[in-house]
Amino acid sequence: MSNILIVQGADVATPALKSIARLTGASAIEQIQPNAFRLVGATAHAELAAQCAAAELDFGWIPADRKLSQFGLFVTDMDSTLITIECIDEIADMIGVKPQVSEITEAAMRGELDFSESLTRRVALLAGLEVSALDRVYAERLALNPGAEQLMRRLKAAGLRTVLVSGGFTFFTDRLKERLGFDHTFANQLEECDGKLTGRVSGTIVDASTKRNALETLRDQYGIAPTATIAAGDGANDLEMFSAAGLSFAFRAKPVVRASASYALDFSGLDGILPLLGA
Question: Which residues are known to be catalytic?
Answer: 77, 79
Contact 26, 5 (CB under 8 A): yes
Distance separating alpha carbons of residues 87 and 147, to the nearest angstrom: 19
The kind and range of the H/E element at 36 are strand 36-40
Distance CA 175, CA 139 (A): 11
Best CA proximity match to 212, nearest among 236, 190, 182: 236
Where does the chain have alpha helices with state H?
Answer: 14-24, 48-54, 87-93, 98-109, 115-124, 132-136, 148-157, 170-180, 208-221, 239-244, 255-260, 273-276
Contacts of residue 218, defined as CB under 8 A and 6 or more positions apart, other chains included, come to: 73, 75, 161, 163, 184, 224
- Indicate the SS3 state at residue 103: helix
The separation between the first and the last C-alpha atoms of the chain, rounded to the nearest angstrom, is 18
